[in-house]
Structure 1
Amino acid sequence: MFSKLALIAITSLALVVEAAPSLLLKTAGPNAVNTVGDLHVVTTLTNTGNETLKLLNHPHTVLSGLPSNNFAVSHKSGARPSFKGALVKYRARASDNKNAYTVLAPGQTMNFEHNLGQTYNFMTNSGEGEYDISPRNIFYVVNADSSISSLEAQTSSHTAKVSGALAVSPSHAMKSKRATFNACNADQQTVIQNAIPPAPPQSITQATQL
């Protein structure tokens, strides 16, 4: 009788574990670059669970599309390149606007490309050498009751050797200056755009109406 109850308990536990949401985040890119302008990596996010996930496009995740600080980049010496991308204020809330989140069905995979040369300056703190590149792996799930919960993805990092030009030129960086709007109506965009002062290179303002 005890063995039968133990078997039932183990089976129930296995079903709970199997039903738990899970994500896999892989990173791929060149093994070596002669300029950081060519340091493009691709992250692949896969829903490895058996339920559909509604994920917020949080600026500290690969889902945002912004050059925000969503990678941990470290030299083999332990030094880290300086961050020069977008500093985004964001308030995590559920939203009915489809631009505020990404939906991943079970087994579905999405790829995202990132230009790390526009986001990090490898000259000031770290220099040439091998770098370990790992995306931040905390995602934010919008639950059925509109509550938000965090989900840690399994990750794989990428190693690349960086040499040559260690920072993107200012003229190239200026091309990335823009204001982006997430889930704002036309009137809100106009008010925000008029309030934005002349911005330095790589300065990005994101407004989110949730």
Structure 2
Amino acid sequence: MRAAFATALISAAFLGVSAGPGLSLSIITPDSVSDVENLSVTAIVKNTGTETLKLLKDPRGVLSTAKTHTFNVANEKGSPEFTGLFVKYSPETAIKANNAANFAVLEPGQSFEITHSLAGVYNFTSTGPGQFKIDASDVFQYVDAAGKLATIKASSESKRFGISGNLVSTRQSQIASAVTAANNYVSGANTYLASVTSTASKPRYTTWFGTYNANRLSTVRSHFSLIGTDASSTTYDCSTCTMNAYAYVYANQPGRVYLCSAFWNAPLTGTDSKAGTIVHEQSHFTVNGGTDDYVYGQSGAKSLAISNPAQAIMNADNHEYFVENTPAQS
């Protein structure tokens, strides 16, 4: 038995595997990038041992696609600002759920490869361009043979990459422009609404909010007054939404807007724009009046203003199309 065991150890050594559990972590980076929007790194986790490993996909680690603080990035000036997600996670709960999606199961010699986009996760403006060192946590959790939570440390090495050129991601620039335009929209709306009276003919107002009524006008005025410049103090989450939509919010959680895929293809201003979307979502917050989504689209919003102005003044798209004012009305 001793001779057989010794032979097995020697064989494992020559094959580059560890007797028992073993892991290696490799990080592949581009030599350099000219725009952080294109900065992606690939992590490869390999089972170098002789046992099958059921690894947990901790959202803070390289096995998960969540845009969390997965990597440590730094140059001589320090670390870039982390702008990604913070997540509450329980490995015990994940094990108890026993959902296959929570794990990466690696047979001996098998690898798991995943690419992480760092765009929108780190803000490099404070560090400037140059050479950066990057590594990730080398401690992994797994389910052992007894079904218990265990940890294993992977062999790993840090990598280096260079950044030159645009240090602000394209998405950050687009959001900044949209916020400015949204604030201008709201400011213009407040000025316009102050001029609406029972005797003044205002087709722009009636198109989106229906015939004049003092109480309804007061409600619309209060919405835009409350929205004010809230867009400037809002956090824009670019990494959570996977829907084919523009954006979403939780009405009772003001100050956070979740941006979706359609937002990035929208024009800055005009119909269904980035700026208009921000106003739309700001109007949903309870503290700003708590609008609903009774109807979507310009034609639906126009019809609602005619058939049910009481709902039109509480419909988010009516607020959006009112500020976008396309085609322009007086």
Q: TM-score, normalised by structure 2?
A: 0.49
- Aligned residue pairs total 181
For 1:49, the aligned partner's letter is G
What secondary structure, in the 3-state scheme, does the structure 1 residue paired with 2:120 have?
helix
What do residues 124-182 of structure 1 show as CA deviations (whole Å, max 9, x unaligned)? 3x1111001112211101112221111111112221111211122334775534289xx
Residues 79-90 of structure 1 mapped to structure 2, 5 A cutoff: 79-90=78-89
What secondary structure, in the 3-state scheme, does the structure 2 residue paired with 1:41 have?
strand
What secondary structure, in the 3-state scheme, does the structure 1 residue paired with 2:59 have?
coil
| Residue 153 of structure 1 pairs with residue 216 of structure 2 | no
Contact 1:27 1:44 (8 Å CA) reproduced: yes
Contact 2:241 2:258 (8 Å CA) reproduced: no
Residues 28-107 of structure 1 mapped to structure 2, 5 A cutoff: 28-75=28-75, 77=76, 79-93=78-92, 94-95=95-96, 96-107=98-109
- Residue in 2 aligned with 1:111? 113
| Residue 144 of structure 1 pairs with residue 207 of structure 2 | no
Measured in 1, the distance between the counterparts of 2:70 and 2:145 equals: 26
What do residues 16-63 of structure 1 show as CA deviations (whole Å, max 9, x unaligned)? 994321111111121111111111111111101111000111012111
Structure 2 regions of 5+ residues with no counterpart?
Answer: 176-235, 244-248, 260-330
Query: Residues 63 and 39 (structure 1 numbering): CA distance in 2 closer, same or farther, change over 3 Å?
Result: same
Out of 113-122 and 163-172, give the one that drifted further: 163-172
Measured in 2, the distance between the counterparts of 1:138 and 1:34 equals: 32
What secondary structure, in the 3-state scheme, does the structure 2 residue paired with 1:37 have?
helix
Measured in 1, the distance between the counterparts of 2:149 and 2:159 equals: 30
Identify the structure with the greater strand proportion. 1
Identify the structure with the greater helix proportion. 2
- Residue in 2 aligned with 1:208? none
Query: Residues 85 and 196 (structure 1 numbering): CA distance in 2 closer, same or farther, change over 3 Å?
Result: farther
What secondary structure, in the 3-state scheme, does the structure 1 residue paired with 2:87 have?
coil
Measured in 1, the distance between the counterparts of 2:168 and 2:257 equals: 16
Contact 2:24 2:45 (8 Å CA) reproduced: yes
Task: Name the larger-Rg structure.
Answer: 2
Query: Residues 55 and 201 (structure 1 numbering): CA distance in 2 closer, same or farther, change over 3 Å?
Result: same
Structure 1 regions of 5+ residues with no counterpart?
Answer: 1-6, 181-192, 203-210
Q: CA RMSD in A?
A: 3.0
What secondary structure, in the 3-state scheme, does the structure 2 residue paired with 1:162 have?
strand
What secondary structure, in the 3-state scheme, does the structure 1 residue paired with 2:150 have?
strand
